[in-house]
Amino acid sequence: MSSTRTDKFSDPRILAEHPLARDGKYCAKGRSKKHPARSVTVNVSESPLSWLRARGHLTDRQFDSGEKLHADWERASLAPNVTMSWNSTPPTDGRRAAPDMLNATEAQIAAKQRFDNAIAYLGRDLCDIAWRIICAGEGVPTAEKHLGWPARSGKLVLKIALDRLGDFYRLP
């Protein structure tokens, strides 16, 4: 028997519509005429950094520095794994890449070192917001709530962290 469930977890669409009240707070469909709902299309696969950049809150340098940290985090395989990686195939000629290139393990170790150095360069005051938003993919309001910060302070601190990351990665 096939299921016809269409809740937010089984919806295969990337874009999802969420009804919003005029004041911006979530409301259910079918509200009164006094407070009609409006619908907003949200890209649920968009990262918090790209969301901030698309709305003009981040410069290209800040966005690029955040993407570099995220790339190092992904390349170092620091995200929790769900299962074994079945996509690696054994080398046929005894080596995986050209002699002057890093193999997969060396690239992973180098990315881990870059990530650790970048987090250390940020310092303990900025690394928590950077990790939560850039690596863990939390939204700014969620990160502010988890860190116990006042509303609308996370974006400012994140921008400072991204500027410092730009200096670490030597971005122009």
CA 164-169-172 angle, to 5 degrees, is: 85
Q: Determine how many CB atoms are found less than 10 A away from the CB of residue 2.
A: 4
Q: How many CA atoms lie within 13 A of 65 on its CB side?
A: 26
Class of residue 3 by CB neighbours under 10 A (exposed 0-12, middle 13-18, buried 19+):
exposed
Q: Summarize pLDDT for 5-51 with one digit per residue, the tens.
A: 444 444 444 455 555 555 545 445 555 555 555 665 656 567 899 99
Answer yes or no: is pLDDT of 133 > 90: yes
In this prediction, residue 86 has a pLDDT band, given cuts at 50, 70 and 90, of low
Long-range contact set of residues 4-9: C-beta below 8 Å, sequence gap at least 24: none
Average pLDDT score, the chain: 77
Task: Determine the average pLDDT of the residues in 161-170.
Answer: 96
